[in-house]
Amino acid sequence: MTNEQFAELLFPDIKNTPDFYEEKYPQRDLPDKAEVTRIGPSPTGFIHLGNLYSAMAGERLAHRSGGVFYLRIEDTDNKRKVDGAVESVISSLDYFNIRFDEGAEVDRQAGAVSYGPFYQRQRAEVYQTYVKDLVKKGLAYPCFCSEEELNAIRNEQTENKVDDIGYYGSYAKCRCLSCEEAAEKIKAGMPYSMRLRSQGQSGNTFKFRDEIMGEVSLPENIMDVVILKSDGIPTYHFAHAVDDHLMRTTTVIRGCEWLPSVPIHVELFSVLGFRRPKYAHTAQLMKIEDGKKRKLSKRKDPELSLGYYRELGYHPEAVRVYLMTILNSNFEEWYQKNPELPLEEFKFSLNKMGVSGILFDLQKLDDISGNIISAKDREEVYDYFYKWMEVYKPESLPVYFADPEKMGRIMDLCMGVGQKRRRKDFINCIQMFELLGYFFDDIFNPEYEFEKYENMTDIIAEFKNTYDSSDDSSAWFNKLKAIADKFGYASDMKAYKQNPDQYKGNVSHVAEIIRVAVTGRKNTPDLWTIMQILGNDSCMKRLDKAAEYLG
RNA sequence: GGCCCGUUGGUCAAGAGGUUAAGACGCUGCCCUUUCACGGCGGAAUCAUGAGUUCAAUUCUCGUACGGGUCACCA
C-alpha cells in the first residue's frame, strides 16, 4: 500500500489539497512593515490579566504598524469549553478598549478577504487537509496507543531516568507500523490519533531569535507529537502552525510558557513548508505567596481575572496604563511627560518588554488609578460611578443617588473640584462606595476611629452648643479654635510645636474628634463642607450618637 | 530529573567595562496648611554568590545558589 492510498484510507472525505487553502487565504495586502498579530484565547470562561497583557502588546504592534489585529477562538479542547465564554471574552476585552479588526464575532468589511472561520473547531477540514498531505509524504502516522499504554511508556522512562520523556524513537510503537498493519487496525475500528513523524535528531540544538527574549538556544524536536486528536481536532501545536500561516500572522505574541514548545512549532512549520512567523514570548505575571514568586494561576487567583477589576470598578484606563507601565519600561516616563496624549501615541516596541516574571503590584495600580480619576471631570466620574452601581450595587442606588445634587456636591468635594489642586481620594468604585457611605443617614453605621484624647465628650458637647450651620467656613473654624483654647489644646500650631508638652493637643486634634464624631473616620475631606452637605439635623444627631458611644 | 529562561532597593525598573547606579510605587522626615487631603523639598533602601578576563567588573566568561517556566489526545 502506498502512502497515497493510505492517506486516502485515513481521510476519504478530504478532497482538497493544501494548494486550495493557500489560494483561498492569500498573502495580505498590507503596507511594508505592517504586522499581523492575534490573540487566541481558549473559551474557558475566564480571561485574565496575562491575556490582556499579551493582547495589548499585539494590538499595539499591529495598529502602530498599520497592520491587523484579530481574534481567534482556540476551542480545540471540547472538555474545557464553557458556554458564553466567547461573549465574556469579547466583552472583557472591549471593556479594556482592545479592538479587533477581524476575527470571531467581528463583522468584517464588505469585500474584504475572510481569513476565517476563526473558531478552530470549524476549521477541522483545513487541518485534516494538511495532515492528509503529511501522511502522503510519510511525515505523519496514526497512533493507536491507549492512554494506559502512553502512561506506561512515560512511567518506564521516568523509572529509567531517561532524559527525554515522551513519544519518540524506539518508544514510539506505532511509528514503525506498516501502512497495512495500521489499515488493519483502522478497519477493526480502533480509535487513533495522528502523530508527526519527527525528523529531529536527539542532541541537536539550534539558535532561535525571539523578539523579546533575544537569542535562545533550543534542542531540536524529536517528539512524535500528536497533531490530530482522536476526534479529528488538532492539538494547539498543529492548529497554531496551520492557522498562523493561513491567517498570515507575522508575529506570534504569547506567554513565555510556550517557549519550550518552540522546537515543536519550528519542526511543524518546516515539515509543512511554511515560512515561520516571528515570535515574541512575553514575561509571566507573578504573584507573591508565602514569600515565593509564582505564576498567577487562573484557579487560585481571583485578581488575575479581568472580571475582578471590573467588579471592583477600576477604571479601564487605569488598568491599561498600569499594564503599559509593566509592558514597556519606558512608558511610565513618557506618560508623565505626556499625560494628556492618548496612549496610542506612545511608541510601543517589543524589545522594551521585560524578560523576567513581573510581580503584580496592586498599590501601583491604585496610585495610577487615583491619578487618573482625579484628572477626570466631575460629570464623567459621576456617570462612571452611577453605571457601576447600577450593575454591581443596584440596591444602593436609591441611597447614594436619591438626590443627584447632593451626590454632585459630594463628588466635587472629594475630587477637590474648584480647589487649587485635585484630591485623589477615589481609586475604584467599590472603594468610593465604602468611602462615601457616611454621607447617607440611612446607612450611616460607623466604626468610630477615635483616638484617645482628653475631654472628648466635653469637646463634642461644646461644639454642639456653639455650632451654627449658617456659619461660614472661617467662622466655623474660629469656633473650633475657641474650643481648643477652652480645653487646653493649642489653637496655634506654631505655639504648639514650640511647646507641645504645655498642651493636651492642638486644634487638629480637636478637629479630628469632631470629624470622627460626625463621619466615623479620621480621614475625610473638608469637615465644614461635609457638615453643610449633611445638614444641621443630621449633624446634631451624629454628635449625640458619638457622645453616647464615648460614654 | 532533562531542557529553557531569569536574578539591580519591599515592588516595577533605567543603565553602562570607569556613573554620586536614573525614575516610579510604597515607607519615612520636614515644609505648606484653619481641619483631611493635594502640593513642594529631603531621607532610608539595590547590583544573589564564587572564580576568571581586565589597569578597572554590577556590566564580559564559567561555575554555584536561588527563583520561574516546561516536559498531555490542555491551551
Q: H or E element: which one contains A495?
A: helix A493-498
**Predicted local confidence at residue A390, as pLDDT:** 96
Q: Please give the nucleotide, over all strands, whose C1' is closest to the CA of residue A234.
A: B73
pLDDT higher than 70, residue A325: yes
Residue A155 contacts strand B, CB under 7 A = no
Residue A428 contacts strand B, CB under 7 A = no
Tell me if residue A356 falls in helix, strand or coil.
coil
The amino acid occupying position A430 is I
Q: In the structure, how far is the CA atom of residue A261 from the C1' atom of nucleotide B70, in angstroms?
A: 8
**Other Cβ atoms closer than 10 A to A41:** 24
Q: Which residue has the higher pLDDT, A243 or A447?
A: A243
**Other Cβ atoms closer than 10 A to A171:** 19
Q: How far apart are CA A295 and CA A256, in angstroms?
A: 11
Q: Which residue is nearest to nucleotide B34 (CA to C1')?
A: A477
**Predicted local confidence at residue A288, as pLDDT:** 64
Q: How far apart are CA A431 and CA A365, in angstroms?
A: 14
Residue A191 contacts strand B, CB under 7 A = yes
**Predicted local confidence at residue A83, as pLDDT:** 85
Q: How many alpha carbons fall within 13 Å on the CB side of residue A486? A: 16
Q: What is the mean predicted confidence (pLDDT) over A451-479?
A: 89
**Predicted local confidence at residue A292, as pLDDT:** 59
Confidence band for A290, pLDDT divided at 50, 70 and 90 = low
Confidence band for A110, pLDDT divided at 50, 70 and 90 = low
**Other Cβ atoms closer than 10 A to A192:** 18
**Other Cβ atoms closer than 10 A to A379:** 10
Residue A161 contacts strand B, CB under 7 A = yes
Which bases on strand B have an atom closer than 7 Å to a protein beta carbon? 1-8, 10-15, 22-26, 31, 33-39, 67-75
Q: In the structure, how far is the CA atom of residue A52 from the C1' atom of nucleotide B36, in angstroms?
A: 37
Report residue A277 as a C-alpha cell.
Answer: 512567523
| Non-local CB neighbours of A15 within 8 Å, separated by 6+ positions | none
pLDDT higher than 90, residue A529: yes
Each residue of A330-364: pLDDT tens digit?
888 888 888 888 888 888 888 888 887 787 888 89
Provide, rounded to the nearest whole percent, the portion of chain A with pLDDT above 90. Answer: 61
Provide, rounded to the nearest whole percent, the portion of chain A with pLDDT above 70. Answer: 96
Q: Which residue is nearest to nucleotide B33 (CA to C1')?
A: A493
Each residue of A219-272: pLDDT tens digit?
999 999 999 999 999 999 999 999 999 999 999 999 989 999 999 999 999 999
Each residue of A184-203: pLDDT tens digit?
999 999 999 999 999 999 88
pLDDT higher than 60, residue A160: yes
Say if CB A197 and CB A140 are below 8 A apart: yes
Q: For A202, list phi and psi in degrees, rounded to 5.
A: -60, 135
pLDDT higher than 60, residue A48: yes
Give the C-alpha distances (Å, rounded to integers) separating A456 from A145, A252, A329, A512: 81, 66, 52, 10
**Predicted local confidence at residue A114, as pLDDT:** 86
The model carries a pTM of 0.88
Q: Which residue is nearest to nucleotide B69 (CA to C1')?
A: A257
Q: In the structure, how far is the CA atom of residue A215 from the C1' atom of nucleotide B63, in angstroms?
A: 22
Tell me if residue A210 falls in helix, strand or coil.
strand
Q: Please give the nucleotide, over all strands, whose C1' is closest to the CA of residue A162.
A: B2
Confidence band for A293, pLDDT divided at 50, 70 and 90 = low
pLDDT higher than 70, residue A113: yes
Residue A363 contacts strand B, CB under 7 A = yes
Q: For A115, list phi and psi in degrees, rounded to 5.
A: -95, 5
Confidence band for A62, pLDDT divided at 50, 70 and 90 = very high
Q: What mean pLDDT is reported for chain A?
A: 90
Q: In the structure, how far is the CA atom of residue A421 from the C1' atom of nucleotide B40, in angstroms?
A: 13
**Predicted local confidence at residue A501, as pLDDT:** 79
Each residue of A114-140: pLDDT tens digit?
898 999 999 999 999 999 999 999 999
**Predicted local confidence at residue A537, as pLDDT:** 92
Say if CB A467 and CB A430 are below 8 A apart: no
Residue A222 contacts strand B, CB under 7 A = no
Q: How far apart are CA A343 and CA A368, in angstroms?
A: 14
Q: Please give the nucleotide, over all strands, whose C1' is closest to the CA of residue A226.
A: B73
Please, what's the b/e burial string for A331-368 (b: 16 or more CB within 10 A of its CB; e: otherwise)? bbebbeeeeeeebeebebebeebeeebbebeeeebbeb
pLDDT higher than 90, residue A87: no
Each residue of A394-427: pLDDT tens digit?
999 999 999 999 999 999 999 998 888 899 999 9
Q: How far apart are CA A298 and CA A426, in angstroms?
A: 28
Interface pTM, i.e. ipTM:
0.89
Q: Which residue in A260, A276, A261, A18 sits closest to A139, CA to CA?
A: A18
CA pseudo-torsion sign A521, A522, A523, A524: positive
Q: Please give the nucleotide, over all strands, whose C1' is closest to the CA of residue A508.
A: B35
Q: What is the mean predicted confidence (pLDDT) over A73-100?
A: 88
Radius of gyration of chain A (CA): 33
**Predicted local confidence at residue A307, as pLDDT:** 83
Q: In the structure, how far is the CA atom of residue A292 from the C1' atom of nucleotide B48, in angstroms?
A: 15
